[in-house]
Amino acid sequence: MAEQVTYRVSHETRYDYSRPVLTSHQLAHLAPRQTAWQRLRTHQVKIDPEPRDCSAGKDYFGNSVLSFALDMSHETLTVLAESIVEVDSQVLNQTEASVNWEVAASRPLTGTTDLEVELYRTCSPMVPFLEEARLYAKPSFQPMRPWLDAMIELTRRIRSDFVYDPKATTVTTRVEDVLKNRRGVCQDFAHLMISCLRSLGMPARYVSGYVLNLAPAGATPLVGADASHAWVAGHCPGLGWVAFDPTNGKLANLEFVTLGWGREFSDVTPLRGVVLGSAAQALTVAVRVESL
Amino acid sequence: MTATPEIGLELPQRFATYPNSFGRFDEMFASPLNPRSHWSMLFGELTKTSAGNIRERQLSAERQLRESGVTYNVYADPKGIDRPWELDVLPLIIAPSEWREIESGIIQRATLFNRILADLYGDQSLLKSSVIPASLIFGQSGFVPAAHGMAVPGGIHLHVYAADLARSPDGHWWVMADRTQSPSGAGYALENRLVVSRTFPSLFRDLRVQHLAQFFATLRNSLMHFAPKGDGPTLTVLLTPGPYNETYFEHTLLSRYLGFPLVEGGDLTVRSGKVWLKTLGGLKRVHAILRRQDDGYCDPLELRTDSALGVAGMTECARRGSVLLANAIGSGLLESDALLGFLPRLCEQLMGEPLRLPSIATWWCGEEAALTDALNHVERVVFKSADPAYSFAPIFGQDLDEAKLAKLKARLSARPERFVAQEMVRVSQAPVLGHSGSEHISAQGIGLRVFAVFSPSGYVVMPGGLTRVASSTDMRVLAMQRGGSSKDTWVLSDRPVDSSFTLLRNTVTSTDLVRSRAGVPSRIAENLFWLGRYQERCDDEARLLREALIQRLQEGEDDDNATTPLLALAKAFGIIDEEEDPYAALLSAATLENKANGLPANLRSLERIAFTLRDRMSLDYLRTLNGLIKNPAFGRAASLSKTLNWLDYTVTNMTTLSGFSLDAMTRDDGWRFLSIGRRLERLDFQCMALQIAIDRAPDTGLSWLLRLSDSIVTYQSRYLAQPEWLPVLDLLVLDGANPRSIVFQAKGITGYALKMKEQYGPFGFESFADAVRSLENITPLDLHPENQSLRETIDRLRTEAFALNDHLTQHFFNHAHSSAQATIGI
């Protein structure tokens, strides 16, 4: 596999409103994040109708945010984000790969508290500590088992125990219900895995982004291609943050473009808004990821 | 009973049931019947005055509170949404030296809290160095990541602060809880003061009680001082969640007292990174917001996306520092009891001095040592939620049997970080008057809420506070929501008190200008407009139903042939469907609530609108309306005669309501909108009635039309004859002196509209004005049912009245009424 891939990503969101919208405030997490393994070459967002007030900044989690407002009557809103991104293959440190999971689950007792890690160890509004999630994860986390092994196993178990079913859940479905019904989409599986890990005392963050459909002819394509995707990053001392995709049951590596991360979906919702005037809206999302 | 000068005779009786303090601190008595020195004057007053007199004062205080409409709403309270505020007239008295300690402790604590907030929403060095466990903060729902790094004006997160104090048996004051988000109660303290100072006027003066007014002036001036400037005069608003909030009365009181317009989220909008108030005169920049809305509900865009309350984009404005929020978003974080145990160390570290006013001993169970400790002393502690967003009723260790204890231990070991264990305090007791009728003076447990505000010279403490009295059922719980009462708090001064300062006088002069400068919020204007429409609609409907049902009663006995036109009118009004039995439909429209367009349904709508305007409506208006809705006939099927009685009663009361809006309201823009609403509704109804009468001519008589239009008396006094078309049409169409005539409505609307056009510019009124001109061209020669231009003019007026309604909505109300919706794109 190549060491580095360059992607062109386009992500179009379109709202059709049932009645004209008079004012609209929107918040976008649509710019791929600069990281040690990912560089953003070009990025632009086209908004139609053109907003009056537009400002870019960083959120608490270090992601780029674009906020804009419209105060003219409009019946559709289109937001098109286009980026060119270079992604490096991430090599795991083999000597650290055998660190036990208990190390990841305990807070360092001395030294400065690493807030970048602790922020993701506690529960968050949509991802509570959950006894059921802990019990589900526990078999993979036997005493003294290497963290990486256990994580990969949990990732695969979620893939095989749960059915990918876009009709089963919504953006507000609770982890308890996903666990009970064994159905959902990438967001649900990510929340579930985060709940499993945090309930065992380990830090985990929600990663929003895209996955390339790299499947060779004849093979099953990865689930979540052609849409925005979500997966999980876990933290282990020595290894740092490692990303896992429970929807596809694998490590998230070269085929994944990272937009940003937070404690859960609501921290990095691609496009979130409040509109005044419309009664109902139809949402269409189109994502295209191609390697150059 | 007369006053008894000899103390010895009546005193023991009066205090016969006064409870022994049994290990509590008694605020009044140092030992039985031996008052502390700062209480001796009140004690003397109580012994000099007859029991009947004291009781009379309490009743008079309750009457005053009722009359000024002081309420405290409790959800699902049997006393209903407007529970009267409960006040015991005996004040809590605090000596000057004691108060100085409380005051300096509160100042230190507020200063400390502001620094903690600045750190937690800034560098977070307290978390990095583990002075506060990161898991404690990150796990709190009160921690708002979006509030991190905000440019809060002046570096002040905590503008207003309140602490709940209680006194332990050894006489020391302790902090039971801190209020850092949007503390309530200062307004109630003020109201208590207004009442109690009148109850004991000479005592109040002789004791040199410190006044409260200066504190509110400091609050007002400080917010103005720290607010960002620009785009016109500095405007501070009070943001309320609305009339259903439990402390809404206080919001209206403070709004009037401080001169801050009272607004809801829908009144504000964000443009170009600034917050604006939508008024009839356009957008007015808002510089500071005293908010009574919780953190999460301030902004549906960035905070709680499941709520459409609040103002979309407000967080971004706060981040840029273009608006001052009192308090800053995220400040609710410090209301968690989990932090209390860390305060002594935080105070040493951030202020370099010991904590003066300690909190009640509290352990956050998220720390293992603390949990073990708490479990070893279960019977001495009370368990509470560590997160105010997930609060549960306190669990008293001493109340638990074995099974319950085991259950608690299981919950604790599963999720220890969700609990705090707090030492139980036997709070002090203070004298209270026995329940009405009783001559005895008793005692109850009390707690004291004190308030501070940040000023250019640091924090200033209100010299007084809200004393809360435990309900008699559980002396351990102090909560107004659980049926407790309250007291005025008298902080004595050892210097003469300057009593000349009062905000009340100021509010009637200079602050009034502030209000009118801000203009009438669009939402208020829209609600007043619909209040006018519904008030008239209920009146019209009650008259129509009465007329139609009387007709039914007299069927075949008169030669008026009124049944057909009245039923046609009822159909046009939306009361009768094609398939329905008309008589049954009329009866149910008069009484049944689930009948669409029925009178009870319209009265309900009127009530809803009046409720949203309750800070602008006279109490008598609300009372009259309430009397209609609470009437036994409302919502119950009844016989014809009972129904007719109910309709008579309604018509009479609707006249009373119109009287209030005529007599008891200032002629401002809001009133003009109410009046336009009424006139438009009446114009529509009268046009409709005339259309039907003309259509049915000559088969119908005209008495019904005159009675329906409340014009029969005028007619008879003028003509002394059977109604005929020419004089009837003259009276109902062209007679400018008849308040039911079409021309009267049309000209009234024109008058108000011109006034508004003058003030706010054109708003699409011209075509209505044209229709009015064609009405003026009608001559008495046109006044017969076959006349085409009369018919066309009436049709046109109705159409234009509809159009005018739309123009007003578009131009003035904008989208004040449409609710915000959250959208999520994945």
Using a CB-CB cut-off of 8 Å, the residues of chain B touching A13 are 825
Chosen domain end from B632, B665, B698: B665
Question: From the CA of A1, how many Å to the nearest CA of chain B?
Answer: 30
Question: From the CA of B334, how many Å to the nearest CA of chain A?
Answer: 18
Q: What does the pLDDT read at residue B817?
A: 46
Stretch B619-639: mean pLDDT: 86
Model confidence at B204: pLDDT above 60: yes
Q: Determine the 3-state secondary structure of B678 from DSSP.
A: helix
- Assign B508 a pLDDT band (cuts: 50, 70, 90): very low
Tell me whether residue B602 is in a domain.
yes
Q: Which long-range contacts (CB under 8 A, 24 or more apart) does B552-559 make?
A: B552/B583, B552/B586, B552/B640, B553/B640, B553/B644, B558/B701, B558/B703, B559/B701
Handedness of CA B603, B607, B608, B609 (dihedral sign): positive
User: Hunting for tokens 């504000």 — which residue is that?
Assistant: B268
Q: Taking a C-beta distance cutoff of 8 angstroms, is the pair B112, B175 a contact?
A: no
When divided into structural domains, chain A yields a total of: 2
Reported as a single tens digit per residue, the pLDDT across A158-203 is: 999 999 999 999 888 999 999 999 999 999 999 999 999 999 999 9
Q: Are residues B730 and B799 in the same domain?
A: yes
B808's CB contacts (< 8 A; 6+ apart) are: B529, B673, B676, B763
Tell me whether residue A125 is in a domain.
yes
Q: How far apart are CA B528 and CA B660, in angstroms?
A: 13
Q: How far apart are CA B585 and CA B598, in angstroms?
A: 9
A161's CB contacts (< 8 A; 6+ apart) are: A182
Stretch B621-640: mean pLDDT: 88
Tell me whether residue B483 is in a domain.
no
Closest to B452 in 3D by CA, of B112, B188, B163, B192: B163
Closest to B197 in 3D by CA, of B522, B452, B406, B464: B464
Question: From the CA of B823, how many Å to the nearest CA of chain A?
Answer: 5
Q: Are residues B606 and B688 in the same domain?
A: no
Closest to B188 in 3D by CA, of B485, B409, B597, B614: B485
Q: What does the pLDDT read at residue B310?
A: 87
Alpha-carbon distances, residue B693 vs B427, B561, B565, B690 (angstroms)? 75, 11, 6, 5
Burial class (CB in 10 A: 0-12, 13-18, 19+), B570: buried
Q: What does the pLDDT read at residue A217?
A: 54
Tell me whether residue B265 is in a domain.
no
Q: Taking a C-beta distance cutoff of 8 angstroms, is the pair B363, B150 a contact?
A: no
Q: What does the pLDDT read at residue B5?
A: 40
Q: How far apart are CA A246 and CA A152, in angstroms?
A: 9
User: What is the DSSP track for B550-619?
Assistant: HHHHTTTT-SS--HHHHHHHHHHTT---SSS-HHHHHHHHHH-TTSTT-HHHHHHHHHHHHHHTTTTS-H
Q: How far apart are CA B108 and CA B112, in angstroms?
A: 6
B74's CB contacts (< 8 A; 6+ apart) are: B83, B246, B481
Q: How far apart are CA B110 and CA B334, in angstroms?
A: 11
Chosen domain end from B665, B689, B706: B665
A172 touches B at CB < 8 Å: yes
Q: Are residues A68 and A181 in the same domain?
A: no
B406's CB contacts (< 8 A; 6+ apart) are: none
Q: What percent of chain B has pLDDT over 70?
A: 90
Q: Are residues B685 and B631 in the same domain?
A: no
Closest to B308 in 3D by CA, of B316, B317, B299: B299
Q: Are residues A130 and A226 in the same domain?
A: yes
Q: Are residues A20 and A59 in the same domain?
A: yes
Using a CB-CB cut-off of 8 Å, the residues of chain A touching B305 are 266, 272
Reported as a single tens digit per residue, the pLDDT across A71-91 is: 888 999 999 999 999 999 988
Stretch A249-270: mean pLDDT: 94
Q: What does the pLDDT read at residue B741?
A: 95
Q: What does the pLDDT read at residue B22?
A: 74
Q: What does the pLDDT read at residue B101?
A: 96
- Assign B11 a pLDDT band (cuts: 50, 70, 90): low
Q: What does the pLDDT read at residue B530?
A: 94
Closest to B528 in 3D by CA, of B516, B518, B540, B536: B536
Residue A269 has its nearest CB partner, among B127, B818, B824, at: B824
Tell me whether residue A212 is in a domain.
yes
Reported as a single tens digit per residue, the pLDDT across B22-80 is: 788 999 999 888 999 999 999 988 888 887 888 888 888 888 887 777 766 644 343 44
Q: Are residues B660 and B689 in the same domain?
A: no
When divided into structural domains, chain B yields a total of: 2
Q: How many CB atoms lie within 10 A of CB B486?
A: 23
Tell me whether residue A257 is in a domain.
no
A21's CB contacts (< 8 A; 6+ apart) are: A70, A73, A74, A75, A77, A275, A276, A277, A278
Using a CB-CB cut-off of 8 Å, the residues of chain B touching A63 are none
A273 touches B at CB < 8 Å: yes
Q: Which helix (H) or strand (E) holds B52?
A: helix B51-67
Q: How far apart are CA B663 and CA B473, in angstroms?
A: 46
Is there a contact between A69 and B313 if contact means CB atoms under 8 Å apart?
Answer: yes
What average pLDDT does chain A have? Answer: 91
Q: How many CB atoms lie within 10 A of CB B428?
A: 23
Q: Let me know the angle formed at the C-alpha of B335 by B370 and B352, rounded to the nearest 5 degrees.
A: 75
Q: What does the pLDDT read at residue B570?
A: 94
Q: What does the pLDDT read at residue B475?
A: 55
Question: From the CA of A26, how many Å to the nearest CA of chain B?
Answer: 7
- Residue A105: which CATH number? 3.10.620.30
Q: Taking a C-beta distance cutoff of 8 angstroms, is the pair B336, B386 a contact?
A: yes
Model confidence at B650: pLDDT above 50: yes
Model confidence at B516: pLDDT above 60: no
A80 touches B at CB < 8 Å: no
Is there a contact between B273 and A53 if contact means CB atoms under 8 Å apart?
Answer: yes
Model confidence at B409: pLDDT above 80: yes
Q: Are residues B658 and B534 in the same domain?
A: yes
Question: From the CA of B299, how many Å to the nearest CA of chain A?
Answer: 10
B277's CB contacts (< 8 A; 6+ apart) are: B235, B237, B261, B263, B267, B268, B283, B284, B285, B286, B518, B519, B521
Burial A164-179 (b: 16+ CB within 10 A, else e): beeebbebebbbeebb
CA B796 to chain centre: 42
Tell me whether residue A264 is in a domain.
no
User: What is the DSSP track for B285-336?
Assistant: E--EEEE-S-GGGS-TTTS-TT---S-TTHHHHHHHTSSEEESPTTGGGGG-
Using a CB-CB cut-off of 8 Å, the residues of chain A touching B316 are 55, 67
- The residue of chain B nearest to residue A227, with distances taken between CA atoms, is B826
Tell me whether residue B259 is in a domain.
no
Question: From the CA of B384, how many Å to the nearest CA of chain A?
Answer: 19
Q: Are residues B538 and B660 in the same domain?
A: yes
Q: What percent of chain A has pLDDT over 90?
A: 74
Q: Are residues B641 and B769 in the same domain?
A: no
Model confidence at A260: pLDDT above 60: yes
Q: Are residues A105 and A230 in the same domain?
A: yes
Using a CB-CB cut-off of 8 Å, the residues of chain B touching A107 are 135
- The residue of chain B nearest to residue A30, with distances taken between CA atoms, is B826
Reported as a single tens digit per residue, the pLDDT across B331-386 is: 999 999 999 999 999 999 999 999 999 999 999 998 888 889 888 888 889 999 99
Closest to B301 in 3D by CA, of B318, B323, B286, B282: B318
Q: How far apart are CA A161 and CA B578, in angstroms?
A: 59
Q: What percent of chain B has pLDDT over 90?
A: 56
Q: Are residues A149 and A65 in the same domain?
A: no
Q: At what angle do helices B640-663 and B669-696 cross, to 10 degrees?
A: 140
Q: Are residues B636 and B525 in the same domain?
A: yes
- The residue of chain A nearest to residue B129, with distances taken between CA atoms, is A112
Model confidence at B119: pLDDT above 80: yes
Is there a contact between A274 and B301 if contact means CB atoms under 8 Å apart?
Answer: yes
Tell me whether residue A222 is in a domain.
yes
Q: Are residues A37 and A113 in the same domain?
A: no
Q: Which helix (H) or strand (E) holds B693?
A: helix B669-696
Using a CB-CB cut-off of 8 Å, the residues of chain A touching B301 are 25-27, 272-274
Question: Which value does ipTM take for this structure?
Answer: 0.93
Closest to B699 in 3D by CA, of B569, B568, B559: B559
Tokens of A198: 């945090």
Tell me whether residue B563 is in a domain.
yes
Q: What does the pLDDT read at residue B620?
A: 79
Q: Are residues A240 and A110 in the same domain?
A: yes
Tell me whether residue B553 is in a domain.
yes
For A276, phi then psi, to 5°, come to: -120, 125
Q: Are residues B749 and B698 in the same domain?
A: yes
Model confidence at B150: pLDDT above 60: yes
- Assign B474 a pLDDT band (cuts: 50, 70, 90): low
In SS3 terms, B496-524 reads as CCCCCCCHHHHHHCHHHHHHHHHCCEHHH
More confident of the two residues B21 and B98: B98
Q: How far apart are CA B702 and CA B720, in angstroms?
A: 14
Q: Are residues A54 and A139 in the same domain?
A: no
User: What is the DSSP track for A15-45?
Assistant: EEEEEEESEEEEEE--SPPPBTTEEEEEEEE
Q: Are residues A142 and A236 in the same domain?
A: yes
Reported as a single tens digit per residue, the pLDDT across A44-71 is: 999 999 998 899 999 999 999 999 999 8
Q: Is the peptide bond before B327 cis (omega within 30 degrees of 0)?
A: yes
Q: Which long-range contacts (CB under 8 A, 24 or more apart) does B778-781 make?
A: B778/B733, B778/B734, B780/B726, B780/B730, B780/B734
Is there a contact between B134 and A171 if contact means CB atoms under 8 Å apart?
Answer: no
Q: Are residues B571 and B700 in the same domain?
A: no
Tell me whether residue B474 is in a domain.
no
Stretch B272-298: mean pLDDT: 91
Closest to B446 in 3D by CA, of B420, B423, B465: B465
- Outline where chain A has alpha helix (H): 101-104, 115-118, 131-137, 147-161, 175-181, 186-199
User: What is the DSSP track for B778-809?
Assistant: --GGG-STT-HHHHHHHHHHHHHHHHHHHHHI
Closest to B333 in 3D by CA, of B384, B388, B293: B388
Model confidence at B505: pLDDT above 50: no
- Assign B7 a pLDDT band (cuts: 50, 70, 90): very low
Model confidence at B666: pLDDT above 80: no
For A48, phi then psi, to 5°, come to: -130, 120
Q: What does the pLDDT read at residue B65?
A: 82
Q: How far apart are CA B110 and CA B160, in angstroms?
A: 9
What average pLDDT does chain B have? Answer: 87
Q: Are residues B655 and B564 in the same domain?
A: yes
- Assign B509 a pLDDT band (cuts: 50, 70, 90): very low
Q: Taking a C-beta distance cutoff of 8 angstroms, is the pair A45, A83 a contact?
A: no
CA A212 to chain centre: 14
Is there a contact between B823 and A67 if contact means CB atoms under 8 Å apart?
Answer: no
User: Hunting for tokens 């109660």 — which residue is that?
Assistant: B185
- The residue of chain B nearest to residue A262, with distances taken between CA atoms, is B145
Residue A113 has its nearest CB partner, among B127, B313, B820, at: B127
Length of chain B: 826
Q: Are residues A108 and A229 in the same domain?
A: yes
Model confidence at B156: pLDDT above 50: yes
Chosen domain end from B624, B644, B665: B665
Residue B200 per-residue DSSP state: S
- Residue A286: which CATH number? 2.60.40.2250
Stretch A251-273: mean pLDDT: 94
Q: How far apart are CA B156 and CA B154, in angstroms?
A: 5
Asked which of B134-148, B176-190, B268-282 is least confident by mean pLDDT, the reply is B268-282
Tokens of A43: 């990025």
For B275, phi then psi, to 5°, come to: -95, 140
Is there a contact between B316 and A113 if contact means CB atoms under 8 Å apart?
Answer: no
Q: How far apart are CA B422 and CA B359, in angstroms?
A: 10
Stretch B684-711: mean pLDDT: 89
Residue B276 per-residue DSSP state: E
A163 touches B at CB < 8 Å: no
Stretch B151-162: mean pLDDT: 96
Q: Determine the 3-state secondary structure of A239 from DSSP.
A: coil
Q: What does the pLDDT read at residue B820?
A: 67
Q: What does the pLDDT read at residue A225?
A: 64
Residue A27 has its nearest CB partner, among B130, B302, B308, at: B302
User: What is the DSSP track for B218-252?
Assistant: HHHHHHHHHS---SSS--EEEE---TTSTTHHHHH
For residue B770, the enclosing domain spans 674-815
Q: Are residues A56 and A163 in the same domain?
A: no
Tell me whether residue B311 is in a domain.
no
Q: What does the pLDDT read at residue B129?
A: 93
Q: Are residues A152 and A235 in the same domain?
A: yes
More confident of the two residues B436 and B525: B525
Q: Taking a C-beta distance cutoff of 8 angstroms, is the pair B443, B428 a contact?
A: no
Q: Are residues B656 and B545 in the same domain?
A: yes
For residue A221, the enclosing domain spans 101-252
Question: From the CA of B173, how many Å to the nearest CA of chain A?
Answer: 35
Q: Taking a C-beta distance cutoff of 8 angstroms, is the pair B256, B190 a contact?
A: no
Model confidence at A132: pLDDT above 90: yes
Question: From the CA of B684, how many Å to the nearest CA of chain A?
Answer: 28
Q: What does the pLDDT read at residue B437?
A: 54
Model confidence at B9: pLDDT above 80: no
